[in-house]
Amino acid sequence: MENKPICYVPSRKIPEVFSGVPSFLGLPTIKTKEELKKSDIVFMGVPWEGICTCGGFSGTELSTKFIRQVSVRYGGYLPDYDLDIFDYFTGGDYGDVAIKNGDYDFTFNSIREQYKDILTAGKFPVIFGGDHSISYPLISEFAKKYKGKIGVIHFDAHMDNLESYDDEKYARCCPFHRLYEDENVDPKKIVHFGIRGPRNNPAGLKAAKKYGANVITGMEIKMNGVLKSIKKALELAGDGTDAIYVSICSDILDVANNPAGPPDPCGLTSFELAVALHECGKAKCEAIDLVELYPPNDPNGTSFHVIAWMVIYFLAGVTKRRFNL
């Protein structure tokens, strides 16, 4: 693509999605549906935080800004594979979805409509949150595109599949229960990957068993190895499906690798997550979201740099698959 993201080029002009907020990787901004035609990969933000489930608000609605800010340091080239994804794909930033604080109905409808623009145009969506509740409308719309023949790999320390929280059925700890009930999603093709630790309600595992969803625990991943474990997840999610959706909560990472997330030990290293996501890209994964980052906890922006890297490793896998590299 023209003006592709390359680091250490001081003359690069970085577009802004909003005043003072650069586009992801300094890619061209997309202002209209018509402009979607110019990009193969489309990045979009959902600056949303719904009901709090532990303590006060986390500030996750600020994450779309912080991810973009750190991303301009990077390009699409990885020496690990001697591959630049933007030698093969074009990309653009579609800005942030309109949200209304405290209003799930308005915000989720807004998510669906702008996300549908990307899907209808046949583009590859990469979405930054926001809290994990946003995955419900995103995956629900993705499932419609593929007429229900999708799998889902849910990277997380927690099941996020409770029936409701404080009478709110769309809370950040409930999106996968909503997906179990979605007419276009087969729960048996959902894999909860990396589940671990004492911050899980017993009802979560019971719900997964009730609906037939698959669970690969964090301990299982560590004992068997990340490569073997992600291949198992891809087999489960890919059996009989046309496409796989990847949803990543930041606390899939160990606390040592994720200062902007909840302090959950025993998680993946950034290396292990990069390996897993690269394998997902090489398989039939056709969409991704990355959620649950808390800027106030991370003054150095470490987790936001990690997320930018993870996206590139994932998309390098997609590039290998799409172009038989």
DSSP conformation letters of 189-228 = GEEEEEE-SSSS-HHHHHHHHHHT-EEEEHHHHHHH-HHH
* Distance from chain centroid for Cα 74: 19
Query: Which CATH architecture best describes the domain 16-322?
Result: 3-Layer(aba) Sandwich (3.40)
Contacts of 37 (CB under 8 A, 6+ apart): 121
Domain ranges of the chain: 16-322
Q: 50 preceded by cis ω (within 30°)?
A: no
Identify the pLDDT of residue 215.
98
Tally of CB atoms within 10 A around 74: 18
Which residues are bridge partners to 125 per DSSP? 42
Identify the pLDDT of residue 51.
85
Of 22, 3, 2, 20, whose CA–CA distance to 11 is shortest?
Answer: 3
Q: How far apart are CA 299 and CA 301, in angstroms?
A: 6
The pLDDT tens digits of the residues spanning 274-309 come to 999 999 999 999 999 999 999 999 999 999 999 999
Whole-model pTM above 0.85? yes
Q: How far apart are CA 288 and CA 42, in angstroms?
A: 11
Q: How far apart are CA 60 and CA 270, in angstroms?
A: 20
Contacts of 182 (CB under 8 A, 6+ apart): 139, 140, 143
Helix, strand, or coil here: 242? Answer: coil
Encoding tokens for residue 268? 């993946």
Contacts of 223 (CB under 8 A, 6+ apart): none
Q: How far apart are CA 1 and CA 87, in angstroms?
A: 6
Are the C-beta atoms of residues 192 and 176 closer than 8 Å to each other? yes
The pLDDT tens digits of the residues spanning 240-267 come to 999 999 999 999 999 999 999 999 999 9
Run means of pLDDT, 10 residues per run, the chain, 325 residues: 89 92 97 96 97 83 97 97 98 98 96 98 97 98 98 98 94 96 98 97 97 98 98 98 98 97 96 98 98 95 98 98 98
Q: How far apart are CA 184 and CA 142, in angstroms?
A: 9
Identify the pLDDT of residue 14.
93
Q: How far apart are CA 135 and CA 287, in angstroms?
A: 11
Within 13 Å and on the Cβ side, how many CA atoms surround 229?
26
Of 133, 107, 139, whose CA–CA distance to 52 is shortest?
Answer: 133
Are the C-beta atoms of residues 275 and 314 closer than 8 Å to each other? no
Identify the pLDDT of residue 58.
87
